[in-house]
Amino acid sequence: MTTLFHLCAHSVVQLHSLDFSFRLQLSKTYPALIKPSSLCVYRINMQRNKQVAMGRKKFNMDPKKGIQFLIENELLKNTCEDIAQFLYKGEGLNKTAIGDYLGERDEFNIQVLHAFVELHEFTDLNLVQALRQFLWSFRLPGEAQKIDRMMEAFAQRYCQCNPGVFQSTDTCYVLSFAIIMLNTSLHNPNVKDKPSAERFICMNRGINDGGDLPEDLLRNLYESIKNEPFKIPEDDGNDLTHTFFNPDREGWLLKLGGRVKTWKRRWFILTDNCLYYFEYTTDKEPRGIIPLENLSIREVDDSKKPNCFELFIPDNKDQVIKACKTEADGRVVEGNHTFYRISAPTTEEKEEWIKSIKAAISRDPFYEMLAARKKKASSLKRQ
């Protein structure tokens, strides 16, 4: 027993890695070996680690609530710099959730976005290399306005790190999008007409404040993407990149059940004339799919929820909408809604969702936004 005591005393520094129950028993047998203060610190550290893990889990399900939890428990400072560091390290965080938080338009979130981008070092990297680094640190959200803010921040940071490469941030912004779309065109198996280097060069003429970028630069960027596609974070093997990479709109909404009239919070994605909804942003597959073909949308009043709108079949109110959902046991079944009633968090978001759904069939706001920026970059005169 004396030998054991001396051996343990000699290795006291290693006791911090022992199981807590064993440490507690050891403290009863050899009270001089482990001080009460050591056990207290151990308990505090264990509790802190549990709270951090809980905060990460909350963040992955709802980024704002996760950040709020970590701040309230003094695990994170309420500063844009500290939150940006937390997201940049990304330990245990879902990259879709990181992108969702960074893309929000609240002033504080925008400050966090800029602090996050400042943590990236792009000096002496070509644009493709910088994009590879940037797009791997989170998953780019699908909503056009979120993409706009994030890519604008990227372009500003790249030009700050590499002065003189482009005449303006607009040039960097437009070329960055051209590269992202080139990546999709070259490596998405659904795209049959693969662009050549010559077409890529031609498409980007006049974007450098009205002038052309060096052909060698564009050709090198093309070859880099052709030889190695972007690695898009897919979070636990979710292979829905091509389906949901660029939706028209996405966000949290409340949905009224079909047979059982209860409200449930769901993550909605609008893309390809369909409305998908998920239980969490991290889910690999949607809980339901609502094809928008032959449907109409209208604002409605509801006694229990504000900011409501409905999807319905015009002139046929009793007909069941053709849709599908996934049951708890994994079975895919037909939906039983004659209408889908949905509640948005605010009046403004309700109006934006209605506008996006109405426009989904006829146009894509992402490409309209990009076309406007390209027109601006091409029309500027070189100083």
pLDDT tens sequence across 151-197: 999 999 999 999 999 989 999 999 998 898 888 888 887 777 888 99
Would you say 329 and 279 are in contact if contact means Cβ atoms under 8 Å apart?
Answer: no
- Helix 95-102 with 107-118: angle, nearest 10 deg: 120
Distance CA 38, CA 24 (A): 11
Query: Model pTM?
Result: 0.58
Distance CA 282, CA 27 (A): 43
C-alpha gyration radius of the chain: 26
The pLDDT of residue 68: 93
Specify the 3-state DSSP secondary structure of 308. Answer: strand
Q: Which amino acid is at 24?
A: L
The pLDDT of residue 31: 54
Q: What are the structure tokens assigned to 113, written together?
A: 């976005």
The pLDDT of residue 380: 59
The pLDDT of residue 15: 40
pLDDT digits (tens, 9 = 90+) for 41-53: 667 677 778 888 8
The pLDDT of residue 382: 47
Choice among 143, 310, 334, 351 that is catalytic: 143
Q: For 41-114, CATH number?
A: 1.10.220.20
CATH 1.10.220.20 residue spans of the chain: 41-114
Would you say 255 and 266 are in contact if contact means Cβ atoms under 8 Å apart?
Answer: yes
What CATH fold (topology level) applies to the domain 121-237? Arf Nucleotide-binding Site Opener; domain 2 (1.10.1000)
Distance CA 150, CA 157 (A): 11
- Closest Cα to residue 360, out of 224, 276, 254, 249? 249
Q: Which helix (H) or strand (E) holds 300?
A: strand 296-300
Thinking of the domain 249-365, which architecture would CATH place it in?
Roll (2.30)
Q: Which residues of the chain have pLDDT under 70?
A: 1-42, 44, 234-246, 361-371, 378-383
Distance CA 362, CA 7 (A): 77
The pLDDT of residue 245: 54
143 is catalytic: yes
CATH 1.10.1000.11 residue spans of the chain: 121-237
- Closest Cα to residue 174, out of 141, 200, 152? 152
The pLDDT of residue 13: 38
The pLDDT of residue 291: 85
Give the other-Cβ count within 10 Å of 51's Cβ: 16
Query: What DSSP string describes 321-370?
Result: P--EEE-TTS-EEE---SEEEEE-SSHHHHHHHHHHHHHTTT--HHHHHH
The pLDDT of residue 368: 60
